[in-house]
Amino acid sequence: MTDQAARVVFDDPHQTGPAEAETMRVRTLKGAWRWGLIALTGLTIFLCINQQFSLRFFVGFTPLNTEYFYLLILCMLPFTFLIFPGSAAASTDRIAWYDVVLFVMTAAAAFYLMINIRQAAELGWEFGDPPAPVIWAGYAMWFALMEALRRTGGWSLLLCVFPFTVYPLFAGSQWLGPLKGTQSTLEQTAAYHVLSTESLLGIPIQAFADVVIGFLVFGTALMMTGAGKFFINLAFALCGTFRGGAAKVGIFASGLLGMMSGSIVSNVLTAGTMTIPTMKRTGFRASYAGAIEACASTGAVLAPPVMGATAFVMAQFMGTTYAEVALAAIIPAILYYVGLFLQVDSYAARNGLKGLPRRELPSAWATLKEGWYYAFVVVLLIVMLLYFKRESHAPFYATALLLVLNQWAQPGRWRTINAINIVVALAATALMTIRGEAFAKALAFPAGEGRLDAWMNAILLPVLGGMLLLVLLNELFGEKRWGWGKYVSFLEANGRTFVELVGILAGCGLLIGAFSLTGVIASLANDLLAIAGTNALLLLAMCALTSLILGLGLTTTACYIFLAILVGPALEKLGLNKMAVHMFIFYWGMLSSITPPVAIASFAAAGIAGAPPMKTGWESMWVGSIIYFLPFFFVANPALVLQAATPGGPVPYFEALYLMATAIAGIVFICGGIQGYQAGIGDLRGAGLLEWPLRVLLVIGGLVLATPGGGIMPFSNTTMELAAGVILVPTALLALLLVRRARASG
């Protein structure tokens, strides 16, 4: 933070934490290893673009999806053993010989499996009898995946996942009870894990290869171009003067910064270094400031348009688009952030905490004038996701446009050559469009439905090529440039994130493969239903409790996969909406980040705030308490996740808005009761001995009001609102009378 003429201007924050891993102890690669990572990261991005845009760069050869997946694994997975040390005692400055051995072994196994995967698909080796070398390569890959899980997620993740990867070896045992399934040999299990599209090459790696890479590249581009500075300055400019303004800034800024990293811990470390000290300076307790930042950063991963990696896995798991998942997340995210804002507002009002003076804050107009193009590229991303339905392409267009606009925003002078660069890029775009196969198809396409899409196919790819050409021309000619060193840093930052995610997602894929091979999923769903009967709330409570327990050892993605396999089918069999069920699992899988004893987000924030970690964790639960109820709300009525009441029916938008309004009204009372200051009434300490009974009644009444009726609830919306009124009206009137009397006597 720098002081310029008494006005606060925040420096550019950079991503400093992990995307999904649970360890902060990593190596910075040097020399040939660093350049190898940079080169293979560039190759990974190129392979993704080639596959997603069907560029057919490999003339005369079209790679299978499985070959493409193994290429990505070959490029990224071996680096897990170089970037993540093998133990707490291992050096972070020097790469040990055994790390190099693991690197070579993993690369060799991935390469051998890649060149054999086509033949494996043709001959059905995942179920048949593959050659011995393939089996041994499978053993090596299996070992490498488990070690990668241990290094990125710790022993707890390995000990949770590994038993299930070997589960098919003893699945026929009677003592397993409901988990009894089809048993396989070691050779069959290894072959299935590394050759089938249900295990290593299953949903997590498919999500990474198809969608996640593009969004990670976009997030890194935002970070490298200085979007963090823009988002934080905008948050301070818009919210800094409000009551408890520093905390509200933290909430707003963390929500925006989530687009850059998609990581809870990284978000805490990026935004928290700037917002937590400011919160403390304006009167917030250290533990409370840390709790606010932890909750805000957790919400950022749950909020569209760019959510955490788990959301992409969820879309792949459900067989739907990421755009559908992002749409479904809008109202829950709004309710969560409204709840955080109201909690902070009530706390600030009760404790007399003011906002920051306007003279100390950045200018909103100057901030927008300087960084308007960040908002523009986010809007472009949303339009391409929701209107053009091009989720695997959208982040690449947004990234290319962001690079061009950021080059133009660089301090160098605009010269004639820059205009020439634009003309050349436009001419190249027009030429690529006219000479493309899609252009002739678009000209011949008959009027009517589908014609717009045909023209988009003809135009969009040449436009992307033109923007990338313009980026290159700007770097070669003129002063409006990044400089090649920044592109190297851009690739290196992407590479480290790719390596980390592949290390976790690839290993977690074996969870799915194990249950798929044993065929136990369908029978397990029936067994869970036998335990819960037809009581959906009981099964949801079981799922919530299980997720909290699993959160002690699993990363959020692994926790989601586990519950989506084991509990998801049972909840769907009860007739609950599929999107609502998976969103429920997604939310509860995230809650361990603010729930002790794990609470990694809270502990990271506590380190910045200088507060006791466990105290910050418990305060995080208190501040973010609304998130524990939200998942039950949208399962009770799927209109809150913009889902139709019946499959294929119209989305009830008006009902969704109505339910959102009543939920917000209920949250006002919940937050007032929790913090002891009710909007419209005042500080409830004025109620004397009745303070706590009134606060409890406000929370209960608010919950009744916020909970939607219908669906799995035995009461209608009207009944719920009348019940809330019976609780809240006399409670509020009594509180108002007592508080006013206390003011008058004071």
Quick: pLDDT tens for 568-601.
888 888 888 999 999 999 888 888 888 888 788 8
Q: How far is CA 362 from CA 10, 290, 315, 368, in A?
A: 8, 23, 39, 10
Give the pLDDT confidence score for residue 18 in this predicted structure. Answer: 60
Q: What percent of the chain has pLDDT over 90?
A: 48
- Long-range contacts of 124-130, Cβ-Cβ distance < 8 Å, separation of 24 or more: 125/191, 125/195, 126/191, 126/192, 126/195, 126/196, 127/188, 127/192, 128/191, 130/191, 130/195
Rounded to whole angstroms, how far apart are CA atoms 268 and 272?
Answer: 5
Rounded to the nearest integer, the mean pLDDT of the chain is 88
Longest dimension (CA), the chain: 89
Confidence (pTM) = 0.89
Assigned token pair, 478: 């003129």
pLDDT tops 80 at residue 715: yes
728 three-state secondary structure: helix
283 phi-psi bin (left φ>0, alpha ψ -120 to 50, beta other): left
Q: Is the pLDDT of residue 13 over 60?
A: no
Q: Let me know: does 184 contact 192? Beta carbons within 8 Å.
A: yes
Q: What are 174's two structure tokens?
A: 């009677």
Q: What is the pLDDT of residue 422?
A: 93
State the pLDDT confidence band at 499, using cuts at 50, 70 and 90: very high
Least confident of 264-273, 500-509, 680-689: 264-273
Whole-angstrom CA distances from 480 to 57, 421, 429, 470, 537 are 31, 11, 21, 11, 59
Question: What pLDDT was estimated at residue 415?
Answer: 86
pLDDT of residue 22: 53
Distances (CA, A) of 423 to 6, 280, 426, 431, 479: 44, 52, 5, 12, 17
CA dist 705 and 723 (Å) reads 8
Cα dihedral 206, 211, 213, 215, rounded to 10, equals -150
Q: Which helix (H) or strand (E) holds 8?
A: strand 7-9
How many other C-beta atoms lie within 10 A of the C-beta of residue 107?
Answer: 17
pLDDT band at residue 1 under the 50/70/90 scheme: very low
Residue 6 has pLDDT above 50, yes or no: no
pLDDT band for position 438 (cuts 50, 70, 90)? confident
State the residue for tokens 């804050």.
361
Q: Indicate whether 257 pLDDT > 90.
A: no
Dist. CA 549–CA 569, nearest whole Å:
20
Average pLDDT of the residues in 6-10: 50
When comparing pLDDT for 427 and 63, which is higher? 427
Are the C-beta atoms of residues 279 and 389 closer than 8 Å to each other? no
Rounded Cα–Cα distance for residues 741 and 658 (Å): 36
Distances (CA, A) of 575 to 534, 571, 652: 10, 7, 18
Per-residue pLDDT tens for 280-325? 988 899 999 999 999 999 888 888 888 888 889 999 989 899 999 9
pLDDT of 116 higher than 50: yes
| Cβ-contact 9, 232 below 8 angstroms | no
- Within 63-126, residue ranges assigned H as helices are 65-76, 80-83, 97-123
Q: Does residue 395 contact residue 385 with C-beta atoms inside 8 Å?
A: no
Read off the tokens for 261.
């990293």
Closest to 291 in 3D by CA, of 251, 257, 258, 252: 251
333: amino acid identity, one letter: A
Let me know: does 672 contact 679? Beta carbons within 8 Å: yes
Q: Report pLDDT for 270.
A: 81
At 284 the three-state DSSP class reads: coil
Other Cβ atoms less than 10 A from the Cβ of 541: the count is 13
Burial class, 263, CB count within 10 angstroms (exposed 0-12 / middle 13-18 / buried 19+): buried
Rounded Cα gap, residues 544 and 628, in angstroms:
9
Of 95-109, 490-504, 537-551, the poorest mean pLDDT is in 537-551
- The first and second tokens of residue 172, run together, are 């026929």
Which H or E run contains 630? helix 626-636
Q: Is the pLDDT of residue 668 over 80?
A: yes
pLDDT tens column, 451-486: 888 888 889 889 999 999 999 999 998 888 888 899
pLDDT at 4 over 50: no
